[in-house]
Amino acid sequence: RARQGIYPSLAGAWGQDTTTPTVIKPGGSVLWRCRSYSVGQGIEGAVTYHFAGEIPHDKVRFTWKSRVFGPNKYDAVTSRNECKIAVEGGDGVHAFVAIIVAPKAPVLE
């Protein structure tokens, strides 16, 4: 379970009836939307979640930058060694991005 520990930052506006959730349950998925304040302006944001029941610095952070000109950029990092992160999608004007946090496969010896 991941719990949001730091309020999200956003240069833009949250979509109608949406914002980052405070909790993401194991195996769960969440959706949030954001948009620019005006035509010709991009969006930039970040949100950090802490893993529940773990030490406070065990976290995952998502960042995004949707530009008016140039490629969109998305990233996710975690301090938890047992997790892997995949960032998929993100192309186009109305980009949809999936950020997947999952346990790493065990290493077979």
CA distances (Å), origin 89, targets 4, 52, 107, 108: 23, 28, 28, 31
pLDDT for the residue 56: 65
pLDDT for the residue 3: 52
CA distances (Å), origin 57, targets 18, 21, 79: 27, 19, 7
**Cα–Cα distance between 62 and 90 in angstroms, integer?**
13
User: Do 97 and 90 meet the contact criterion of CB atoms below 8 Å apart?
Assistant: yes
pLDDT for the residue 87: 84
pLDDT for the residue 109: 67
Tokens of 74: 């998305």
CB atoms within 10 A of CB 24: 19
CB atoms within 10 A of CB 41: 12
| Residues composing the chain | 109
Digits of tens for pLDDT over the chain (109 positions)? Answer: 545 444 566 677 777 777 777 777 777 777 777 777 777 778 888 888 887 776 666 888 888 888 878 888 888 888 888 888 888 877 777 777 888 888 887 767 6
Domains of the chain (ranges, CATH numbers): 2-103 (2.60.270.50)
